Structure formats: structure tokens, C-alpha cells
Amino acid sequence: MHGDDGFGIDASLRAFAERAGTVERTEIVPERSPDEAAIDEARLASASVGLFGAHLAVLRQPMRAAGRSTSASDKLVALITDLPDGAALGLAELRSSRDLGRPQALLGRLEEAVSARGGSVEKRDAPRRNELQAWIRSHAAANEIALEPRAAALLAERIGGAMWESDIERGEQTRVADGELRKLATYAGERPVTADDVEALVADTRPASLFAIGNALDRRDGAAAAAALERAISAGLPVLRVMGALQGRVADLIVARDLLARGATPKELARRVGRGNVRAAERGAEAAGRYSGAELEAMLRGLFEADMAIKENRMEEEPAVSAWLGEFLLGTRRAAGRTGG
């Protein structure tokens, strides 16, 4: 089992244990990378026989156990190819949502080895943007939880199902949704769960995202930027990292304005501000048009001043970035910027 849906991977493991008729289970988690000792432990555990039936050995994060070691990788593949008949082995690789698009050669080798031994390969990816609501409805129905449509939509929104930024982690969203559904069902009793129930019982746990802050800046949406900034700080993202991302984005918007003024081609825009992506360059150009040149320059100077205030111990990190946000996106500085004041 591999993917970024931790809840789905655990569900697959439970289903496999039932199919294999296992009555005992050993979990092995690598302590370092590589960790050949963890692979050896999985070999011993999978070869053992329980007192009352088959014994399931589960190796968590096998890719971490193999690391970049050739010998550990070969030992991991051999764990599968040399598995005794009748043994039960589960490999559970929870991947980062940000890394799903990056192919890994060892993962392909493991899939081939498992399939060759008659095993099953399951890819369990968390629901993407606007897919979580459907997952919640389906999961509620499977667990005989009556749920009003608006309640499903609001629950998905509060967990982060409507977020589309590629830098957010989605691995625990389905697990959170499952827990919230069970809590809501207990609260509602015999009646269907309503949007008011979700409003009253479910906290906003949308994940932190640097991209969400930058996207709100692009849209000139101060309220969304403030909310995204609050989530980022609450999640422990370093403030200076947030400010660095903002500085980079404002600088890109300044370059985009200058290029547009010179009549730059879409190809040049993509190369300079879209990292080679034409659609990203178009979004950058559109965002740059929402600000005047003076505004953007003032925003960049403001970030520099906030950065210096932090590093010279004249201001704490959170108040500094919050003050910048209030001045340039929530306050009245925009009018002054348009007049060059």
C-alpha cells in the first residue's frame, strides 16, 4: 500500500489482514534511513507462525528503511521474493502529498516484486481539491451516518477539501473526516447531521500553505491572506520563511509589470515569472495588473523594513508580518500607493 492517504492505507491493511486470516500482527517502523535491521526484523516476523493462525508482519515506510543504500534496497526486494509460502507481509508507504508526482525507482521494483509473488498493490491517494466532499458522503453512507448535503460541504471545507494549493499535506484529511463524522453522528443521534451541527462542533483545521498566502496576495484578498497567514503561524511555519515567500512573489509581480509595459511575449513572461509555465505566467501578469507599480515597490520596501526590524530585535516576528499585512493589504496604504504618496 502506498500513497498520501494514511487512513486509506490503514484501511487496506485491515482488509488484507482479514483476507489472510491473520490473528497476530507485528508493526516494524524504521528508526533511521537506511535501517537494514528493520528489514531483518520484518523478515523474521513474517516467517513466524502465530499460536492460533497466520502472523502478519507490517513494515512501515519501507522506502525509508532502504534509504539510498543499494544493499538495503536489494535486501528489501529479497524480503518479498524470498517470502515463505503462507507468510503474511504488508508494506505500508505513506508518502508526502508534495512528492506524489515524483517517480521513485525502488517503489516500482517493490510493486513488480509484490505482483510477481501474487500479492496486491494498492495506491491510496487522499482526495484532491473538491473531491473530499464526495468522499465524506460515501464514507458516511458506508457507516450508516445520515448526513445532509450542506453538512458534507461544510465539513469538507473546514478540513481543507476546497484548497487547491500544491504545497499542502492531505495525508490526514480522511482520518480527520472519519473522526469528525463519528463525533457528529453521536451528537445527532437518530436524526441526520446538519450544517448547524458541523458549525457548532467542527473546528476549522484547514492546513497551512505558503502558496495560499501568495495566491491571496495575487487576488488582492486581504481577508484570505490574513486567514492563510494565521494558519501558517499556528502550524509552526517559520515567519521568516513566510516573508521570504512574500518577497519573492512581490518581486515577481514587479518584474511582470515591467515586462508587460515593454510588450513582452508570453514565452518571455513564462521564462521570467512563470518558471517556464505559461499559465502561471498569465496568472502572474493578471495579478500584477491589480496593483500599481508604486504599490508593489512600497510592499517590497515594507517587507525589507519588517525583515530588518526582526533581525535587529526591534520587533517580534509575528507582529512584524501582521503589521505589513495590515498596512498593505488590509489598510489604506493602497490609496497612497496609487498617488505615489
* CATH at 257: 1.20.272.10
Over residues 260-281, the mean pLDDT reads 75
Buried/exposed 47-76: b ≥16 CB within 10 Å, e otherwise: eeeeeeebbbbbbbbbbbbbbeeeebbebb
Q: Name, in order, each residue with C-beta under 8 angstroms of 63's C-beta and a sequence gap of 6 or more.
A: 93, 104, 106, 107
Per residue in 280-339, pLDDT (tens digit) is 778 888 888 899 999 999 999 999 999 999 989 999 999 999 899 888 887 644 444 443
Q: What does the pLDDT read at residue 339?
A: 39
Question: Does 197 share its domain with 251?
Answer: no
Task: Tell me the CATH number at 22.
Answer: 3.40.50
How far is the C-alpha of 308 from the C-alpha of 302, rounded, in Å? 10
210-228 confidence digits (pLDDT tens): 888 888 899 999 888 898 8
Residue 186 within a domain:
yes
The last residue of one of the domains, among 201, 227, 244, is: 201
Sorting pLDDT into bands at 50, 70 and 90, what band is 340? very low
The percent of residues in the chain predicted with pLDDT above 70, rounded, is 94
104 plus 40 within the same structural domain: yes
**Is 191 a member of any domain?**
yes
pTM as predicted: 0.68
Asked if 22 and 84 sit in the same domain, the reply is yes
Statement to judge: residues 175 and 109 lie in one domain: no
Q: Is residue 273 part of a domain?
A: yes
Which domain does 189 fall in, by range? 132-201
- For residues 233 and 311, state if they share a domain: yes
Pair 29, 111 in one domain: yes
184 and 93 in a common domain: no
In this structure, the answer to whether residues 310 and 232 fall within a common structural domain is yes
Do both 218 and 325 map to the same domain?
yes
3-state per-residue secondary structure call for the chain: CEECCHHHHHHHHHHHHHHHCEEEEEEECCCCCCCHHHHHHHHHHHHCCCCCCEEEEEEECHHHHHCCCHHHHHHHHHHHHCCCCCCEEEEEEECCHHHCCCCCHHHHHHHHHHHHCCCCCCECCCCCCCCHHHHHHHHHHHCCCCECHHHHHHHHHHHCCCCCCCCCCCCCHHHHHHHHHHHHHHHHCCCCECHHHHHHHCCCCCCCCHHHHHHHHHHCCHHHHHHHHHHHHHCCCCHHHHHHHHHHHHHHHHHHHHHHHCCCCHHHHHHHHCCCCHHHHHHHHHHHCCCCHHHHHHHHHHHHHHHHHHHCCCCCHHHHHHHHHHHHHHCCHHHHHHCCC
Q: 36 and 83 share a domain?
A: yes
Q: Which residue has the higher pLDDT, 288 or 164?
A: 288
- Do residues 250 and 298 share a domain? yes
Q: Is residue 103 part of a domain?
A: yes
In this prediction, residue 52 carries a pLDDT of 64
Q: pLDDT tens, 72-104?
A: 999 999 999 999 888 899 999 999 887 777 778
Within-domain flag for 121: no
Residue 54 lies in a domain: yes
What is the predicted pLDDT for the residue at 231?
85
Residue of 204 and 230 predicted with greater confidence: 230
Which one of 201, 221, 253 terminates a domain?
201
- 254 in any annotated domain: yes
Mean pLDDT of the chain: 87
Count of structural domains, the chain: 3
Residues 221 and 329 in one domain: yes
pLDDT of residue 273: 73
Question: Which of 116, 147, 162 delimits the end of a domain?
Answer: 116
Give domain status of residue 122, yes or no: no
